[in-house]
């Protein structure tokens, strides 16, 4: 696989990467708050609340959100990423809760946060794992909670780094349990030039999950008896 330094591909060994790298050299490193998330927070007048930075990596996004007054929880599959992120937040005098957590085997509690931002996790997951991700973010979000997701677009040429997604494919995963507010074509800001083509989607967790038909049947039976 060719690509920029640190591009590990969808099945990359995240722990080795973070244990052996200066995070500021990683392709996705962006010291500023992602401009799409910035715009989305403004558009939806979100100024406070509990927000999860899922797959926080260098935690630049988590730190920017904490500076803006959000109560931030930041998770990553890599314990080295979390150790380095904790040190960076401490040095910046920011209070952020960090946890090692694999979104595919998550131990995060239900209804934990008002919003989730995912800048680059969904697009590293293979197709068969994506439904697990969708169930997890749905469970961790409070009803009506926001999910902001940035991923590589199918329009980005080449095969280095993460999977590419078409808008229709991305939306297909979320249609059942989330309202789709918007999807825009954008770029993934970081150390790669030109910045890779990306999609930025805004979803909202529906208030109530559709009830499985078997449960509906059981309830009807019990009310008759």
Ligand X SMILES: C[S@@+](CC[C@H](N)C(=O)[O-])C[C@H]1O[C@@H](n2cnc3c(N)ncnc32)[C@H](O)[C@@H]1O
Q: Name the site residues for ligand X (rule: CB under 6 A).
A: 14, 28, 55-58, 60-61, 76-78, 81, 102-104, 119-121, 124
The distance of closest approach from Cβ of residue 59 to ligand X in the complex, given in angstroms and rounded to an integer, is 8
For ligand X, the closer of residues 54 and 205 by Cβ is 54
Of 76 and 114, CB closest to ligand X: 76
Nearer to ligand X, 28 or 163 (CB): 28
Q: How far apart are CA 144 and CA 160, in angstroms?
A: 35
The CB-of-213 to ligand X minimum distance in angstroms stands at: 31
Task: Give the nearest distance from C-beta 207 to ligand X in angstroms.
Answer: 27
Report, in angstroms and rounded to the nearest whole number, the Rg of the chain calculated over CA atoms: 18
Question: Cβ of residue 44: shortest distance to ligand X, in angstroms?
Answer: 20
Cα separation, 120 vs 152, in Å, equals 8
Q: Which is closer to ligand X, CB of 81 or CB of 174? A: 81
Question: What does the DSSP assignment read for 94-157?
Answer: ---EEEE--GGG--PPTT-EEEEEEESSGGGS-GGGHHHHHHHHHHHEEEEEEEEEEEEBTTS-
């Amino acid at each position: 696989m060719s690509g920029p330094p640190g591009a590990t591909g969808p099945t990359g060994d995240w722990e080795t990467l973070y244990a052996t790298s200066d995070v500021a050299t990683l392709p996705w490193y962006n010291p500023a708050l992602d401009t799409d998330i910035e715009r989305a927070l403004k558009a939806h007048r979100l100024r406070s609340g509990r927000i999860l930075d899922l797959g926080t990596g260098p935690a630049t996004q988590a730190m920017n959100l904490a500076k803006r007054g959000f109560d931030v929880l930041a998770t990553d599959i890599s314990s080295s990423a979390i150790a380095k992120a904790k040190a960076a937040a401490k040095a910046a005098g920011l209070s952020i809760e960090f946890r090692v957590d694999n979104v595919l085997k998550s131990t995060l509690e239900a209804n934990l946060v008002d919003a989730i931002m995912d800048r680059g996790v969904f697009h590293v997951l293979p197709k068969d794992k994506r439904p697990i991700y969708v169930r997890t973010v749905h469970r961790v979000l409070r009803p009506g909670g926001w999910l902001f997701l940035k991923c590589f677009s199918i329009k980005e040429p080449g095969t280095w780094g993460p999977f590419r997604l078409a808008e229709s494919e991305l939306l297909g995963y979320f249609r059942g349990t989330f309202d789709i507010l918007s999807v825009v074509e954008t770029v993934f800001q970081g150390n790669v030039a030109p910045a890779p083509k990306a999609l930025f989607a805004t979803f909202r967790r529906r208030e109530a999950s559709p009830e499985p038909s078997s449960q509906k049947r059981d309830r009807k039976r019990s009310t008759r008896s």
